[in-house]
């Protein structure tokens, strides 16, 4: 069985790669770049995100954490769903550049919230910013 430490490293690594891919694809979307049509750009993010989600579910299971018992995890899951929705608007579903830009910025703010929530295990992690 994989150790929790290695699984956490996989998870955090996937978080970083997923975010970097999102930023790059967002910039390409805002600039109407043909790079968005490359095969690897259509496949790699989904592969990384699948590994990210799989590692998250496995970690929660191994640690015995349930979103029903851990409010921070429930908040993180809800924020993740909103992040995915905004991400699809930012990269392909937004009808105008302005809509895509707004969705891209809001998605990044949600990403920061997700990370803060994960680090603090607090659904309202703002207190960490005032330290």
DSSP-assigned states of every residue in 50-94:
HHHHHHHHHHHHHHT--TTT-HHHHHHHHHHHHHHHHHHIIIII-
| Structural contact between residues 114 and 83, judged by C-beta atoms closer than 8 angstroms | yes
How many separate domains does the chain show? 1
Cα three-residue angle 128-27-10, rounded to 5 degrees:
55
How high is the pLDDT of residue 131? 65
Instruction: Decide if pLDDT at 129 tops 90.
Output: no
Instruction: Decide if pLDDT at 130 tops 80.
Output: no
Q: What is the pLDDT of residues 53-74, one digit of tens each?
A: 999 999 999 999 998 899 999 9
94 lies in which domain range? 4-130
pTM value is 0.90
d(CA 28, CA 95): 15
Mean residue pLDDT across the chain:
95
1 — pLDDT class (breaks 50, 70, 90): low
């Amino acid at each position: 069985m994989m150790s929790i430490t290695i699984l956490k490293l996989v998870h955090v690594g996937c978080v970083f790669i997923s975010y970097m891919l999102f930023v790059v694809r967002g910039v390409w979307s805002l600039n109407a770049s043909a790079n968005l049509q490359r095969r690897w750009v259509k496949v790699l993010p989904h592969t990384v995100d699948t590994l990210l989600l799989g590692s998250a579910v496995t970690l929660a299971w191994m640690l015995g954490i349930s979103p029903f018992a851990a409010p921070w995890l429930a908040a993180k899951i809800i924020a993740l769903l909103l992040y995915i929705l905004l991400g699809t608007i930012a990269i392909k579903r937004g009808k105008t550049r302005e809509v895509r830009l707004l969705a891209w910025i809001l998605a990044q703010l949600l990403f920061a919230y997700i990370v803060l929530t994960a680090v603090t295990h607090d659904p309202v992690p703002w207190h960490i910013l005032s330290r």
